[in-house]
Structure 1
């Protein structure tokens, strides 16, 4: 997938600032709106909350318990069959600039992942499209670049992971070279000791030939 220069520049800046927080990648793969297994016999037990502190999805009964007192909690909405988060909550934790906002239950929300390919999620080419997945934006270029949180941050995550893999590969190569140098040095040392021992044996043999013998009387 090819990204535009501004997006690539943003990725580089975000990687340097470490904007891709550890919990966000897990948040992308979390399941919501299923029944809470802990409170399965209570009403309103859908998993519509996310605890950043604990990295778990939760229902309102989980959140009301003392287990999550003082924790960072996000409310999860459904917008066009996709999970969405209130902008007012999420902007306290990540940079939400340039992400498309939507109105849902009187709240401005941003979608966790790209919307379906219908209606506001239709694909287009050229101006007015999400710079990653090409879905249509309501206010492109001047205000929005991305249709969802995933489109803004997952490319950053992939590029950061590639950078980490490259760094690890370089580190492994450095260790391999250092190990080879150590082995070569050790082999040279052993060869030198063997050569010295061989020279000493030759010298001892030569010295025996010159020992005078006592004459018989």
Structure 2
């Protein structure tokens, strides 16, 4: 998966994009509830808040960076030309309304993933897209970039080699051979020691007797004088 960096200006705070995606637009403005056409359809990047058309007339948002929020198929969209001034919108699916290209802020709800005939779909919600786009909204692209950033910051995994069964059996046989030799030598020493500790009578009885020498000739009695 190829990542695409979001380029922000140095003066803007990095958290303004998250606030933008979580904001609820086209609701009544709390500061101008008594006035007509007080729906909040503008986002002030510098103040990180939603404002209405009447808020623009005050000096509080003078020379601030603003984004005009529009509605398309009951969802919040922003012009592609306006959003590209603040961040990289490449690979996000654009749509054309009133002759201008717009992109969705958040993914549209769907009952089940729908893939297009072109074979391209959103990498997050699997909504059908046209090639070469990979995201159906800005929120989908931001979520993928966050995951890539976490993977780069996470420490590398330490892998351990698990010996196979054949290696274990070979090592066991090698360890068993010297043990068997030691047992045989110990048995021999015990037998020899057992033979040395027999009773002295048994030892004399087990010893081979020497051959008896027979007397030569017949004894004769000396003559009587």
With structure 1 as the length reference, what TM-score do the two structures score? 0.62
**In the alignment, is the contact (CA less than 8 A) between 1:130 and 1:136 conserved in 2?**
yes
Q: Which residue is 2:61 aligned to?
A: 68
For residues 32-58 of structure 1, give each alpha carbon's deviation from its aligned partner in whole angstroms, at most 9, with x where no partner exists: 110001001111100100000000001
Higher RCO (Cα < 8 Å, 6 or more apart): 1
1:131 alignment partner in structure 2: 123
Distance in 2 separating the partners of 1:162 and 1:23: 23
CA distance in 2, matches of 1:107, 1:83: 15
Contact 2:8 2:87 in 1 (8 A): no
Cα 1:98–1:61 shift into 2, 3 Å: same
Greater helix proportion? 1
Aligned pairs for 1:176-187 within 5 A: none
Question: In the alignment, does 2:48 pair up with 1:22?
Answer: no
Alignment map for 1:57-206 (pairs within 5 Å): 57-117=50-110, 123-124=114-115, 127-137=119-129, 139-141=130-132, 144-160=133-149, 166=154
Give every structure 1 segment of 4 or more consecutive aligned residues whose post-TM-superposition deviation is greater than 6 Å: 17-20
Gaps of 5+ in 1: 168-217
Structure 2 portions without partners, runs of 5+: 156-225
Superposition RMSD in Å:
2.7
CA contact (8 A) 2:40 2:52 kept: yes
Partner of 1:204: none
